[in-house]
């Protein structure tokens, strides 16, 4: 019980660290401090010194969090989820870091927005096909490796959907600030993409919940089985 309590505290602490880093990085993306045209809002002055300093602090915090996570890597389903979340944060961090020193570039045009909408729609096609192509969840499956492999796949799809959702939000915010003949059509296109994305996400979330419960139950059953064997 003491071991389980200690592990639970570490997991809870990790989740707090991960939430903090995601919120901080999300704020940086929203504030356009990396000056990338993908998310650039109306801005005339680019400042990178403060950004680089803050990114350095993020890097230290991220390394410490990863080291803490590695201390109790037991390949459980909770560890797998944390591992994927950390990888997603590392990817976002690298995304910011590689662009923090770029010069300001021009804002998106209507043509850029149209291209972005088509690209996101294509990626949603891929994720939707991928979701339907995955094997269904078997509640009688006791092989934890099989269930964890499925969990890995659904988590990757879910994380990709979250990234697309962020991109859609930024495109929608920027599109609403542009007065053009295409604005109504773009607004309708974006709404359809949001609806489609949320529909796929609901399906993936159901699969994830089922897998997490199945993995947790199998781990409990295995623990009881080991206890009976050791007596």
Predicted confidence band of residue 23 (pLDDT cuts 50, 70, 90): low
Q: What is the mean pLDDT of the chain?
A: 69
Higher pLDDT, 17 or 192: 192
Q: Count other Cβ atoms within 10 Å, centred on residue 8.
A: 11
Q: How far apart are CA 47 and CA 39, in angstroms?
A: 16
Closest CA to 152 of 215, 222, 220: 215
pLDDT at 39: 34
Percent of the chain with pLDDT over 90: 6
Model-level pTM? 0.52
Query: 147 pLDDT exceeds 70?
Result: yes
pLDDT at 34: 37
Q: How far apart are CA 204 and CA 213, in angstroms?
A: 14
Instruction: Give CA separation, 150 vs 19, 121, 131, 180, 216, in Å.
Output: 24, 25, 11, 45, 14
**Measured at the alpha carbon of residue 81, what is the angle toward residues 148 and 157, in degrees to the nearest 5?**
80
Query: 36 pLDDT exceeds 50?
Result: no
Higher pLDDT, 32 or 76: 76
* Structure confidence by residue, pLDDT tens digits, 162-199: 888 988 888 887 776 665 566 778 888 889 999 999 99
Query: 209 pLDDT exceeds 70?
Result: yes
* Structure confidence by residue, pLDDT tens digits, 72-125: 666 666 666 666 666 666 666 666 665 554 433 333 567 778 888 888 999 999
DSSP E strands in the chain: the ranges are none
Kindly write down the DSSP assignment for every residue of 100-163, as one continuous string.
Answer: TTPPP-PPPPHHHHHHHHHHHHHHHHHHHHHHHHSPPP-TT---HHHHHHHHHHHHHHHHHHHH
pLDDT at 6: 52
Q: How far apart are CA 46 and CA 36, in angstroms?
A: 11
pLDDT at 16: 67
Averaged pLDDT, 202-207: 89
Higher pLDDT, 27 or 169: 169
């Amino acid at each position: 019980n003491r071991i389980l309590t200690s592990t639970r505290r570490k997991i809870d602490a990790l989740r707090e660290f991960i939430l903090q880093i995601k919120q901080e990085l999300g704020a940086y993306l929203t504030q356009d401090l990396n000056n990338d045209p993908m998310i650039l809002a109306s801005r005339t002055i680019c400042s990178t010194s403060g950004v680089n300093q803050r990114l350095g602090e993020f890097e230290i915090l991220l390394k410490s969090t990863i080291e803490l996570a590695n201390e109790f890597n037991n390949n459980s389903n909770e560890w797998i989820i944390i591992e994927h979340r950390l990888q997603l944060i590392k990817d976002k961090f690298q995304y910011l870091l590689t662009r923090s020193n770029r010069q300001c570039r021009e804002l998106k045009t209507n043509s850029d927005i149209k291209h972005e909408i088509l690209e996101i729609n294509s990626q949603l096609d891929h994720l939707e096909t991928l979701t339907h192509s995955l094997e269904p969840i078997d509640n009688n499956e006791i092989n934890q490796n099989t269930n964890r492999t499925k969990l890995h796949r659904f988590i990757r799809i879910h994380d990709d959907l979250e990234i697309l959702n962020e991109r859609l939000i930024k495109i929608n915010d920027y599109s609403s600030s542009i007065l053009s003949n295409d604005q109504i059509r773009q607004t309708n296109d974006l709404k359809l993409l949001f609806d489609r994305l949320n529909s796929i996400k609901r399906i993936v979330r159901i699969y994830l919940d089922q897998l997490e419960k199945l993995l947790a139950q199998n781990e409990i059953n295995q623990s009881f089985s080991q206890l009976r064997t050791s007596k």
